[in-house]
Amino acid sequence: GRLYLNKVFHISATKMFELLFTDSIFIRRFMNVRKITNASFTPWQKDASGNMKRTLNYTITISNPLIGKFSTATEHQTMYKESRDGHYLVDSEVYTHDVPYHDYFYTQNHYSIKSNSKRKCRLRVYTDVKYKKQPWGLIKSFITKNSWSGIEDYFRQLEAELLEEEVDINQGGGES
């Protein structure tokens, strides 16, 4: 896997969780910026093992002549039951349904939001491209290369938007 984001924000862990993993104004705006449309979220629900699960469906804009313009995607998120106020652990699996070779791979993201102090947290995101079946070597490197660049771009922008949100939150004037 690769570590795409590893940064301390002046945002509490709980607030960070709300921004990224609820139907927040922040995530709606971010999706808008990324041209992610038709988003729908199921509510978090406890599964048999005690973890929380939810599913997101959306359409991503790709604009790569080799790949296409759009793809529908499904993201399955699991928040582990070990998560509590100070430390949230969320795994997500992203399936892009309409790209070439979509039945060969998916993307796995591990998010860790860990409280640093009352108003700070560290956000880490690990990503892995997973193969359901082994494609021919050249195809595999094509998939991997295209995936990394798309993922890198996404998390670079997420970091930038979070830095702006951090400013907004901390300009609030003494509010926690």
**Which residues of the shown chain bind ligand YK8 in the complex (CB under 6 A)?**
60, 62, 67, 75, 94, 96, 99-101, 107, 109, 142-143, 146-147, 150-151, 154
Q: How far is the CB of 103 from ligand YK8 (least distance, A)?
A: 11
Minimum CB distance to ligand YK8, residue 94 (Å): 4
User: Are residues 87 and 112 in contact, defined by beta-carbon separation less than 8 angstroms?
Assistant: yes
Q: How far is the CB of 15 from ligand YK8 (least distance, A)?
A: 19
Phi, psi dihedrals of residue 164, rounded to the nearest 5°: -70, -40
Residues 14-53 as b or e (16 or more Cβ within 10 Å = b):
ebbbebbbeeeebbeebbeebebeebebeeeeeeeeebbe
- Indicate the residue among 35 and 81 with the shorter CB distance to ligand YK8: 35
- The residue among 74 and 116 lying less far from ligand YK8, judged by its C-beta, is 74
Q: Are 105 and 129 in contact (CB under 8 A)?
A: yes
116 vs 159 by CB, closer to ligand YK8 = 159
Question: Which residue bears the tokens 């629900």?
Answer: 45
Is the CB of 44 or the CB of 101 nearer to ligand YK8? 101
Q: By Cβ distance, which residue is nearest to ligand YK8? A: 150
